Structure 1
Amino acid sequence: MSTTDRRALIVDAAIDLIATQGIRALTHRALDTALDLPAGSASYYFRTKRALIEAIVDRITTRSRADFIAAQLTTAGPVDPDATARGIATWLDRLLAERRNHLIARHALILDLLSDTELHTSLARSLFSAERARELFRAMGIPDSTTAAADFIALLEGVVFDRFAGSRAKLAPGTPDSLRQLTTLLTIYFRGIGT
């Protein structure tokens, strides 16, 4: 196994460990045990816990950007609010279905890193792109696209949290009901902001 592959394996295991056992369970030794690696392997690749957390933040961010590109959400041409709501809802539903552990680990780390401005800021920006949101609202003709983008990201953060840990956590992603709930919420939002 290459160094890059081994590092990725350790980072993915770290995300899963945080998601299933909490932030306090994240140790080099726990990762070695979870991956059945010789003692000291995780610390060889990530000398400090901070280096490991930096790699987790990078992994979540990189995956989020790749998922967004794969979703092919575009702001070219006139923006149809209903179609945009359906597209973003589909993307969010896939995020909830495929990356639950990323979402749980991200939220656990965001709270744990409140006093670490650099990592906290990076992690807070790891899921949604403010620039993409500004582009969307500019294309919709919203005068203050910066404020609209910040508000929209706050809405998305709340929706995602509600769906994996809040009152709607039992609404299974990847189902028609899940997609309908997300689409309805976003359609109402886009219709309202466009008036």
Structure 2
Amino acid sequence: MTARADLIADAALALLAERGMRGLTHRAVDEAAGLPQGSTSNYARTRQALLEAAVRRLADREAQVLSLEGMPAPGEGIDGLLDALSQTLHRYLTGHRELLVARYELGLEATRRPELRTFYDETGRRFREPLTALMRAAGSVRPERHTLSLVAWCEGMLFSVAVGTFHTAVPTVAELRAGFGELLGGMLGDRPAAPITRAEQ
């Protein structure tokens, strides 16, 4: 994408987080991005095109936050995986709430727009498939099913802390690591979770 395309898509995501789906218009994006009127329409002629641009940009920015390329290589062991997962989730929870809210808006809109649903799901595969490979490398005998459980746990944590009833209590890295340890222990074989010390709480 060009710098202007990124600017437009970033403005769209910011509007989604701030005003919701009703606040996302071509004119509003122009204003939020500080661009001349008509710039967003020239880039994304229709609302569908604007939504697709937002989904693409969201996936790119989430890839940077989640840093899937920073996950442990196959064979590095469960401890490396626990460290990487807990640090990644904590980074998202503490520094990127706006992206999460925008993603929830786009996900809900995708349930009403079949053409966006297909596009949304395709972008999601770039995250799901590497996680399945990690679960397989970690020794999972049901990597696809275990990936679903892992993603569902992460999504529940993200939602609860970003917009749910736990929004005032972001877990520490150590607490997230303990939670991942309990989850993966049940899927891959029991491993006692490391205790959380007072200093880590």
How high is the TM-score relative to the length of structure 2? 0.83
**Pair 1:120-2:117 in alignment:** yes
Question: What is the 5 A alignment of 1:46-195?
Answer: 46-69=44-67, 72-80=70-78, 82-124=79-121, 126=124, 129-172=127-170, 177-195=171-189
Segments of 4+ in structure 1 off by > 6 A?
Answer: none
Identity %: 31
The Cα shift of 1:180 comes to 2.6
**CA distance, structure 1, for counterparts of residue 115 and residue 154 of structure 2:** 22
8 Å CA contact 1:61, 1:127 repeated in 2: no
The Cα shift of 1:66 comes to 3.5
Shifted more, 71-80 versus 15-24: the winner is 71-80
8 Å CA contact 1:60, 1:126 repeated in 2: no
**CA distance, structure 1, for counterparts of residue 2 and residue 61 of structure 2:** 16
The Cα shift of 1:151 comes to 1.6
8 Å CA contact 1:85, 1:187 repeated in 2: yes
**CA distance, structure 1, for counterparts of residue 166 and residue 141 of structure 2:** 33
Q: Look up the equivalent residue of 1:95 and give its one-letter code.
A: Y
**CA distance, structure 2, for counterparts of residue 42 and residue 148 of structure 1:** 41
**CA distance, structure 2, for counterparts of residue 73 and residue 31 of structure 1:** 35
Q: Deviations over 1:38-73 (max 9, x none)?
A: 221211111111111111111111223344446611
The alpha-carbon distance between structure 1 residues 15 and 52, as it changes in their structure 2 partners (threshold 3 A), is same
Question: Number of aligned pairs?
Answer: 188
The alpha-carbon distance between structure 1 residues 127 and 181, as it changes in their structure 2 partners (threshold 3 A), is farther
The Cα shift of 1:140 comes to 2.1
Instruction: Give unpaired runs (5+ residues) of structure 1.
Output: none
The Cα shift of 1:25 comes to 0.3
> Equivalent of 2:30, from 32, 45, 51?
32
**CA distance, structure 2, for counterparts of residue 87 and residue 43 of structure 1:** 40
Q: RCO higher in 1 or 2 (8 Å CA, sep ≥ 6)? A: 1
**CA distance, structure 2, for counterparts of residue 186 and residue 32 of structure 1:** 42
The Cα shift of 1:164 comes to 0.5
How high is the TM-score relative to the length of structure 1? 0.85
Coordinate RMSD, CA, aligned: 2.2
The alpha-carbon distance between structure 1 residues 156 and 25, as it changes in their structure 2 partners (threshold 3 A), is same
The alpha-carbon distance between structure 1 residues 123 and 169, as it changes in their structure 2 partners (threshold 3 A), is farther
The alpha-carbon distance between structure 1 residues 118 and 184, as it changes in their structure 2 partners (threshold 3 A), is farther
Q: Look up the equivalent residue of 2:167 and give its one-letter code.
A: A
Q: Look up the equivalent residue of 1:184 and give its one-letter code.
A: A
Q: SS of the counterpart of 1:129?
A: helix
8 Å CA contact 2:27, 2:40 repeated in 1: yes
